[in-house]
Amino acid sequence: MRILITGAAGFLGSHLVDRFLEEDCRVIGVDNLITGALRNLEHLEDEPRFTLLRHDVSLPLYLADELDGILHFASPASPADYLDLPIQTLKVGSLGTHNMLGLARAQGARFLLASTSEVYGDPQVHPQPEDYWGHVNPVGPRGVYDESKRFAEAMTMAYHRTHRLETRIARIFNTYGSRMRPADGRVVSNFIVQAVRGEPLTVYGDGSQTRSFCYVDDLVEGVFRLFHAEGPGADPVNLGNPGEFTVAELAELVRDLAGSDVAIERRPLPQDDPQVRCPDITRAREVLGWSPRVSLEEGLRRTIPYFRRLVTEEGASARTLE
Protein backbone atom coordinates (compact mmCIF):
# COMPACT_ATOMS: atom_id res chain seq x y z
CA MET A 1 0.00 0.00 0.00
CA ARG A 2 1.00 3.61 -0.58
CA ILE A 3 0.24 5.75 2.46
CA LEU A 4 0.56 9.48 3.17
CA ILE A 5 0.82 10.59 6.80
CA THR A 6 0.64 14.27 7.70
CA GLY A 7 2.35 15.37 10.89
CA ALA A 8 4.83 12.56 10.23
CA ALA A 9 7.64 14.07 12.33
CA GLY A 10 5.39 14.45 15.35
CA PHE A 11 4.90 12.15 18.33
CA LEU A 12 2.08 9.97 16.98
CA GLY A 13 2.82 10.55 13.30
CA SER A 14 6.36 9.18 13.51
CA HIS A 15 5.20 6.04 15.34
CA LEU A 16 2.55 5.51 12.65
CA VAL A 17 5.20 5.83 9.94
CA ASP A 18 7.09 2.98 11.63
CA ARG A 19 3.94 0.88 11.96
CA PHE A 20 3.04 1.12 8.28
CA LEU A 21 6.62 0.46 7.22
CA GLU A 22 6.52 -2.72 9.32
CA GLU A 23 3.72 -3.86 7.01
CA ASP A 24 5.91 -3.21 3.96
CA CYS A 25 3.95 -0.13 2.90
CA ARG A 26 5.45 2.79 1.05
CA VAL A 27 5.03 5.90 3.19
CA ILE A 28 5.16 9.58 2.30
CA GLY A 29 5.48 11.74 5.39
CA VAL A 30 4.44 15.40 5.31
CA ASP A 31 5.40 17.89 8.02
CA ASN A 32 6.24 21.59 8.20
CA LEU A 33 8.18 20.92 11.45
CA ILE A 34 6.30 23.64 13.33
CA THR A 35 6.02 21.21 16.25
CA GLY A 36 7.47 18.03 14.73
CA ALA A 37 11.11 17.04 15.11
CA LEU A 38 13.41 15.46 12.54
CA ARG A 39 15.03 13.34 15.27
CA ASN A 40 11.80 11.32 15.39
CA LEU A 41 12.54 10.13 11.85
CA GLU A 42 16.34 10.05 11.76
CA HIS A 43 16.34 6.25 12.05
CA LEU A 44 14.65 6.17 8.61
CA GLU A 45 17.35 8.15 6.82
CA ASP A 46 18.34 5.16 4.66
CA GLU A 47 14.85 3.65 4.36
CA PRO A 48 14.00 3.58 0.62
CA ARG A 49 10.27 3.09 1.24
CA PHE A 50 9.97 6.37 3.14
CA THR A 51 9.96 9.92 1.78
CA LEU A 52 9.58 13.09 3.86
CA LEU A 53 8.12 16.24 2.33
CA ARG A 54 8.51 19.49 4.24
CA HIS A 55 5.19 21.18 3.55
CA ASP A 56 2.39 23.02 5.36
CA VAL A 57 -0.82 21.13 4.54
CA SER A 58 -2.82 24.32 5.10
CA LEU A 59 -1.57 25.02 1.57
CA PRO A 60 -2.55 22.77 -1.36
CA LEU A 61 -0.40 19.69 -1.96
CA TYR A 62 -0.12 18.13 -5.42
CA LEU A 63 1.35 14.66 -5.77
CA ALA A 64 2.07 12.57 -8.83
CA ASP A 65 2.31 9.48 -6.64
CA GLU A 66 -0.77 7.30 -6.40
CA LEU A 67 -2.08 6.83 -2.86
CA ASP A 68 -4.17 4.16 -1.18
CA GLY A 69 -4.61 6.01 2.09
CA ILE A 70 -4.12 9.34 3.89
CA LEU A 71 -3.84 9.66 7.67
CA HIS A 72 -4.21 13.30 8.68
CA PHE A 73 -2.27 13.83 11.93
CA ALA A 74 -0.92 17.33 11.29
CA SER A 75 -1.80 19.76 14.08
CA PRO A 76 -0.33 21.33 17.18
CA ALA A 77 -1.78 19.01 19.81
CA SER A 78 -0.50 20.03 23.23
CA PRO A 79 -1.90 23.00 25.20
CA ALA A 80 1.47 24.77 25.09
CA ASP A 81 1.51 24.51 21.30
CA TYR A 82 -2.04 25.38 20.35
CA LEU A 83 -2.19 28.27 22.82
CA ASP A 84 1.04 29.62 21.29
CA LEU A 85 -0.05 28.87 17.70
CA PRO A 86 -3.81 29.50 17.69
CA ILE A 87 -4.21 30.60 14.07
CA GLN A 88 -1.99 27.85 12.70
CA THR A 89 -4.01 25.34 14.74
CA LEU A 90 -7.28 26.58 13.29
CA LYS A 91 -5.87 26.62 9.75
CA VAL A 92 -4.53 23.06 9.82
CA GLY A 93 -7.83 21.80 11.24
CA SER A 94 -9.87 23.59 8.58
CA LEU A 95 -7.80 24.31 5.46
CA GLY A 96 -5.43 21.41 6.08
CA THR A 97 -8.28 18.94 6.48
CA HIS A 98 -10.01 20.30 3.38
CA ASN A 99 -6.82 19.97 1.34
CA MET A 100 -6.15 16.41 2.48
CA LEU A 101 -9.75 15.36 1.86
CA GLY A 102 -9.50 16.84 -1.62
CA LEU A 103 -6.30 14.89 -2.25
CA ALA A 104 -7.93 11.69 -0.97
CA ARG A 105 -10.89 12.23 -3.28
CA ALA A 106 -8.66 12.86 -6.29
CA GLN A 107 -6.67 9.73 -5.52
CA GLY A 108 -9.57 7.52 -4.50
CA ALA A 109 -7.75 6.98 -1.20
CA ARG A 110 -9.14 6.03 2.21
CA PHE A 111 -8.94 8.97 4.65
CA LEU A 112 -8.41 8.78 8.40
CA LEU A 113 -8.74 11.89 10.54
CA ALA A 114 -6.90 12.17 13.85
CA SER A 115 -9.51 13.85 16.00
CA THR A 116 -9.34 14.20 19.76
CA SER A 117 -11.15 13.74 23.04
CA GLU A 118 -11.07 17.56 23.22
CA VAL A 119 -14.18 17.58 21.02
CA TYR A 120 -16.03 16.60 24.22
CA GLY A 121 -14.77 19.73 26.01
CA ASP A 122 -15.40 19.70 29.77
CA PRO A 123 -17.84 16.79 29.56
CA GLN A 124 -21.12 16.49 31.38
CA VAL A 125 -21.38 12.80 30.47
CA HIS A 126 -18.87 10.37 31.93
CA PRO A 127 -17.24 8.29 30.51
CA GLN A 128 -17.62 9.81 27.07
CA PRO A 129 -19.29 7.72 24.32
CA GLU A 130 -19.04 8.73 20.68
CA ASP A 131 -22.68 9.83 20.54
CA TYR A 132 -22.09 12.52 23.20
CA TRP A 133 -21.99 15.94 21.48
CA GLY A 134 -19.72 17.62 23.98
CA HIS A 135 -19.58 20.72 26.18
CA VAL A 136 -17.12 23.11 24.54
CA ASN A 137 -16.46 26.83 25.01
CA PRO A 138 -15.88 28.00 21.41
CA VAL A 139 -14.44 31.40 22.42
CA GLY A 140 -12.23 30.28 25.30
CA PRO A 141 -8.45 29.88 24.84
CA ARG A 142 -8.76 26.11 24.29
CA GLY A 143 -11.43 26.65 21.65
CA VAL A 144 -8.86 27.01 18.87
CA TYR A 145 -7.99 23.32 19.19
CA ASP A 146 -11.42 22.00 20.19
CA GLU A 147 -13.24 23.76 17.37
CA SER A 148 -10.58 23.03 14.74
CA LYS A 149 -11.09 19.32 15.41
CA ARG A 150 -14.87 19.59 15.56
CA PHE A 151 -14.80 21.39 12.20
CA ALA A 152 -12.42 18.75 10.82
CA GLU A 153 -14.88 16.02 11.82
CA ALA A 154 -17.76 17.88 10.16
CA MET A 155 -15.72 18.38 6.98
CA THR A 156 -14.74 14.72 6.92
CA MET A 157 -18.35 13.63 7.25
CA ALA A 158 -19.39 16.09 4.54
CA TYR A 159 -16.91 14.52 2.10
CA HIS A 160 -18.10 11.07 3.10
CA ARG A 161 -21.76 11.91 2.53
CA THR A 162 -21.37 14.15 -0.53
CA HIS A 163 -18.54 12.42 -2.41
CA ARG A 164 -18.90 8.90 -0.98
CA LEU A 165 -15.32 9.13 0.21
CA GLU A 166 -14.25 6.26 2.46
CA THR A 167 -13.40 7.94 5.76
CA ARG A 168 -12.51 7.10 9.35
CA ILE A 169 -12.44 9.37 12.43
CA ALA A 170 -10.28 8.45 15.45
CA ARG A 171 -11.05 10.38 18.62
CA ILE A 172 -7.76 10.07 20.45
CA PHE A 173 -7.54 10.39 24.24
CA ASN A 174 -4.43 11.25 26.27
CA THR A 175 -1.49 9.30 24.87
CA TYR A 176 2.12 9.18 26.06
CA GLY A 177 5.43 7.51 25.24
CA SER A 178 8.75 8.09 23.53
CA ARG A 179 9.13 10.95 21.02
CA MET A 180 7.00 13.35 23.03
CA ARG A 181 8.70 16.73 23.32
CA PRO A 182 10.02 17.52 26.81
CA ALA A 183 8.47 20.99 26.81
CA ASP A 184 5.17 20.21 25.10
CA GLY A 185 3.12 21.05 28.19
CA ARG A 186 1.34 17.69 28.48
CA VAL A 187 0.91 16.35 31.97
CA VAL A 188 2.87 13.08 31.55
CA SER A 189 5.89 14.67 29.90
CA ASN A 190 5.79 17.60 32.33
CA PHE A 191 5.87 15.33 35.37
CA ILE A 192 8.57 13.01 34.03
CA VAL A 193 10.89 15.83 32.98
CA GLN A 194 10.43 17.63 36.29
CA ALA A 195 11.07 14.42 38.25
CA VAL A 196 14.29 13.50 36.41
CA ARG A 197 15.55 17.08 36.71
CA GLY A 198 14.81 17.09 40.44
CA GLU A 199 12.28 19.92 40.12
CA PRO A 200 8.90 20.19 41.89
CA LEU A 201 6.02 18.54 40.03
CA THR A 202 3.48 21.20 39.07
CA VAL A 203 -0.12 20.11 39.68
CA TYR A 204 -2.81 22.51 38.48
CA GLY A 205 -5.78 22.88 40.80
CA ASP A 206 -6.14 20.37 43.62
CA GLY A 207 -5.17 17.44 41.39
CA SER A 208 -8.56 15.75 41.66
CA GLN A 209 -9.30 16.15 37.93
CA THR A 210 -9.10 12.79 36.16
CA ARG A 211 -7.50 11.63 32.95
CA SER A 212 -7.01 8.33 31.16
CA PHE A 213 -3.55 7.59 29.77
CA CYS A 214 -2.91 5.33 26.78
CA TYR A 215 0.58 4.08 25.94
CA VAL A 216 1.64 4.97 22.41
CA ASP A 217 2.04 1.38 21.16
CA ASP A 218 -1.56 0.61 22.11
CA LEU A 219 -2.85 3.78 20.48
CA VAL A 220 -0.95 3.20 17.23
CA GLU A 221 -2.33 -0.35 17.03
CA GLY A 222 -5.85 1.05 17.45
CA VAL A 223 -5.33 3.60 14.67
CA PHE A 224 -3.84 0.93 12.41
CA ARG A 225 -6.82 -1.37 12.95
CA LEU A 226 -9.30 1.46 12.41
CA PHE A 227 -7.66 2.42 9.12
CA HIS A 228 -7.80 -1.14 7.79
CA ALA A 229 -11.14 -2.24 9.25
CA GLU A 230 -14.00 -2.78 6.84
CA GLY A 231 -16.83 -2.69 9.36
CA PRO A 232 -16.69 0.51 11.46
CA GLY A 233 -18.28 2.86 8.93
CA ALA A 234 -17.58 6.59 9.02
CA ASP A 235 -18.73 7.31 12.57
CA PRO A 236 -16.06 8.39 15.08
CA VAL A 237 -14.32 5.77 17.22
CA ASN A 238 -12.83 6.55 20.62
CA LEU A 239 -9.26 5.33 21.07
CA GLY A 240 -7.80 5.56 24.55
CA ASN A 241 -7.29 3.71 27.81
CA PRO A 242 -10.44 3.64 29.99
CA GLY A 243 -8.32 3.31 33.15
CA GLU A 244 -8.96 6.56 35.04
CA PHE A 245 -6.49 8.32 37.35
CA THR A 246 -6.45 11.65 39.10
CA VAL A 247 -3.65 14.02 38.16
CA ALA A 248 -2.44 13.81 41.78
CA GLU A 249 -2.22 9.99 41.49
CA LEU A 250 -0.22 10.35 38.28
CA ALA A 251 2.20 12.76 39.98
CA GLU A 252 2.80 10.33 42.83
CA LEU A 253 3.33 7.41 40.45
CA VAL A 254 5.80 9.30 38.24
CA ARG A 255 7.71 10.48 41.30
CA ASP A 256 7.98 6.92 42.63
CA LEU A 257 8.97 5.32 39.32
CA ALA A 258 11.55 8.03 38.60
CA GLY A 259 13.11 7.48 42.02
CA SER A 260 12.61 11.11 42.94
CA ASP A 261 11.54 12.71 46.22
CA VAL A 262 10.73 16.16 44.80
CA ALA A 263 7.87 18.23 46.16
CA ILE A 264 4.49 18.64 44.49
CA GLU A 265 3.66 22.27 43.75
CA ARG A 266 0.07 23.47 43.32
CA ARG A 267 -0.85 26.10 40.74
CA PRO A 268 -4.16 27.68 39.61
CA LEU A 269 -6.29 25.58 37.27
CA PRO A 270 -6.26 26.89 33.66
CA GLN A 271 -9.49 28.18 32.13
CA ASP A 272 -11.82 25.47 30.72
CA ASP A 273 -9.55 22.66 31.92
CA PRO A 274 -11.74 19.50 31.88
CA GLN A 275 -12.54 18.01 35.27
CA VAL A 276 -12.97 14.49 33.92
CA ARG A 277 -11.80 12.74 30.77
CA CYS A 278 -12.27 9.02 30.13
CA PRO A 279 -13.25 7.15 26.95
CA ASP A 280 -16.04 4.68 26.51
CA ILE A 281 -14.28 2.27 24.13
CA THR A 282 -17.19 -0.13 23.61
CA ARG A 283 -17.27 0.66 19.88
CA ALA A 284 -13.52 0.06 19.46
CA ARG A 285 -13.79 -3.27 21.26
CA GLU A 286 -16.74 -4.39 19.16
CA VAL A 287 -15.71 -3.25 15.67
CA LEU A 288 -11.90 -3.41 15.94
CA GLY A 289 -11.37 -6.10 18.57
CA TRP A 290 -9.09 -3.56 20.21
CA SER A 291 -8.42 -2.54 23.77
CA PRO A 292 -5.24 -1.27 25.45
CA ARG A 293 -2.85 -3.82 26.94
CA VAL A 294 -0.16 -1.70 28.61
CA SER A 295 -0.87 -0.52 32.15
CA LEU A 296 -0.03 3.02 33.20
CA GLU A 297 2.76 1.81 35.46
CA GLU A 298 4.33 -0.33 32.73
CA GLY A 299 3.99 2.44 30.15
CA LEU A 300 5.69 4.94 32.45
CA ARG A 301 8.51 2.46 33.08
CA ARG A 302 9.07 2.31 29.32
CA THR A 303 8.80 6.09 28.88
CA ILE A 304 10.90 7.49 31.74
CA PRO A 305 14.28 6.28 30.31
CA TYR A 306 13.55 8.16 27.06
CA PHE A 307 13.07 11.45 28.89
CA ARG A 308 16.00 10.76 31.20
CA ARG A 309 18.22 10.39 28.14
CA LEU A 310 16.91 13.65 26.63
CA VAL A 311 17.47 15.55 29.86
CA THR A 312 20.99 14.12 30.14
CA GLU A 313 21.78 15.14 26.55
CA GLU A 314 20.31 18.59 27.22
CA GLY A 315 22.58 19.00 30.24
CA ALA A 316 25.62 17.84 28.29
CA SER A 317 24.87 20.35 25.51
CA ALA A 318 24.51 23.18 28.01
CA ARG A 319 27.88 22.31 29.59
CA THR A 320 29.51 22.26 26.14
CA LEU A 321 28.18 25.74 25.36
CA GLU A 322 29.56 27.03 28.65
Instruction: Name the residues annotated as catalytic.
Output: 145
Give the whole-angstrom CA distance, residue 36 versus residue 32: 8
- Closest-CA residue to 150 (of 118, 112, 127): 118
Please, what is the angle between helix 247-257 and helix 187-197, to 10°? 40
User: What is the CA 119 to chain-centroid distance, rounded?
Assistant: 13
Q: How are the residues of the chain apportioned to helix, strand and coil, as percentages rounded to the nearest 5?
A: 45, 20, 40
Rg (CA), the chain: 19
* Distance (Å, whole) CA 304 – CA 215: 12
Largest CA distance in the chain: 60
For 183-229, the DSSP string reads TS--HHHHHHHHHHHTPPEEEETTS--EEE-EEHHHHHHHHHHHHH-
Query: Do 201 and 256 contact (CB within 8 A), yes or no?
Result: no
Partner residues linked to 247 by β-bridges: none
